[in-house]
């Protein structure tokens, strides 16, 4: 009997075809539907492997729904919505994808958000579609701009570095904060300067977040930090939603204590605070930093590589809970 794999949301056709060569594949074909718990329980009970995406909540009940479940293969960098402890207790491999895959696309998206808020692109688009066209030299849409500003990068992993590399094409002052400071030669190559966290917040015109989500970084940006930022500054978040205290951010934006925000991630995804949606000084996208066709295909292929390894009796190349293979 062939192994049964369930794909919780549509992925690249090439990856599905690869799986169908070795397995019976079931899938949710609706790209706008995120399966609920009952659907995930049914999928786990009727299949041997779950191929899941970012917003699928694979809790303890789902993990334990089928004692013949062989693997949870996630198309995420960190399995934040998977009960990895429950999976590990069952010696069930949980696989992820390499973080480096997302560096360039997410860095591009961070820059897109900076331009969208810094040049009021989204706001202008809404006005034109509503039939409101200010004179071409009207001050109505005068914006902060990008050139000549200070960009502050919080976190300098792969994505943060990719953002810094792109900044070299602009006349910008780039500062960064990361607990692990780069060697001086690398700072010079990237054209960046390390500063203390609070100094970055007070100096930057754009604060772009690229830290990993952990217990230490949850609500890294809260009421205190937002009050340190300039009233003319913008917050850009393409990392993880819970790094920002969303309630504090709504207050800061509503009271114009900061100029605006470009957000691709949210504290309670896939839900978005309705207050954010009603603010004109925000640009909001639905966690689409990796939404590039070739990249999404590569991400899905990485998941398939992990699945094929397990079917071949090997440790998946991107195993989150490697300890189950110890000894």
Active site (catalytic) residues: 240, 269, 287
CB 57 within 8 A of CB 293: no
Residue with tokens 């689409």: 288
Classify strands 71-74 and 192-194 as parallel, antiparallel or unpaired: unpaired
Backbone φ, ψ for residue 195 (5° rounding) = -140, 160
In degrees, rounded to 5, the angle at the alpha carbon of residue 304 between the alpha carbons of residues 301 and 310 is 150
CB 304 within 8 A of CB 138: no
Cβ count within 10 A of residue 135: 7
SS (H, E, C) 178-190: CCCCCCHHHHHHH
Q: What single DSSP character describes residue 278?
A: T
Nearest to 66 by CA among 3, 152, 139: 3
Q: Enumerate the H helices of the chain as residue ranges.
A: 13-20, 37-46, 60-63, 84-89, 103-118, 121-129, 158-167, 184-190, 197-203, 223-228, 246-254, 274-277, 293-311
């Amino acid at each position: 009997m062939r192994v049964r794999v369930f794909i919780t949301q549509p992925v690249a056709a090439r990856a599905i075809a690869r799986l169908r060569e070795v397995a019976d594949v079931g899938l949710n074909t609706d790209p706008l539907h995120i399966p609920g718990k009952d659907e995930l329980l049914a999928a786990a009970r009727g299949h041997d492997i779950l191929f899941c995406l970012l917003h699928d909540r694979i809790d303890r009940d789902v993990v334990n729904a089928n004692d013949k479940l062989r693997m949870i293969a996630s198309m995420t960098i960190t399995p934040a919505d998977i009960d990895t402890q429950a999976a590990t207790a069952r010696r069930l491999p949980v696989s992820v994808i390499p973080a480096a895959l997302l560096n360039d696309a997410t860095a591009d998206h961070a820059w897109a958000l900076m331009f969208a808020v810094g040049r009021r692109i989204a706001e202008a688009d809404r006005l034109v579609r509503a039939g409101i066209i200010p004179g071409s030299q009207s001050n109505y849409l005068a914006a902060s701009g990008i050139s000549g500003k200070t960009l502050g990068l919080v976190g300098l992993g792969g994505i943060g570095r990719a953002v810094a590399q792109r900044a070299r094409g602009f006349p910008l002052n780039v500062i960064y904060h990361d607990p692990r400071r780069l060697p001086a030669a690398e700072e010079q190559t990237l054209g960046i300067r390390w500063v203390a966290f609070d100094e970055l917040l007070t100096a930057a015109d754009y604060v772009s977040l690229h830290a990993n989500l952990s217990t230490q970084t949850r609500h890294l940006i809260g009421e205190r930090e937002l009050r340190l930022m300039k009233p003319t500054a913008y917050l850009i978040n393409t990392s993880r939603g819970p790094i920002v205290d969303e309630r504090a951010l709504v207050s800061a934006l509503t009271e114009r204590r900061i100029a605006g925000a470009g957000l691709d991630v949210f504290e309670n995804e896939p839900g978005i605070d309705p207050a954010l949606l009603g603010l004109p000084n925000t640009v909001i996208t639905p966690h689409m930093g990796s939404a590039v066709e070739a990249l999404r295909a590569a991400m899905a292929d990485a998941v398939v590589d992990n699945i094929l390894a397990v079917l071949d009796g090997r440790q998946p190349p991107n195993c989150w809970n490697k300890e189950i293979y110890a000894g």
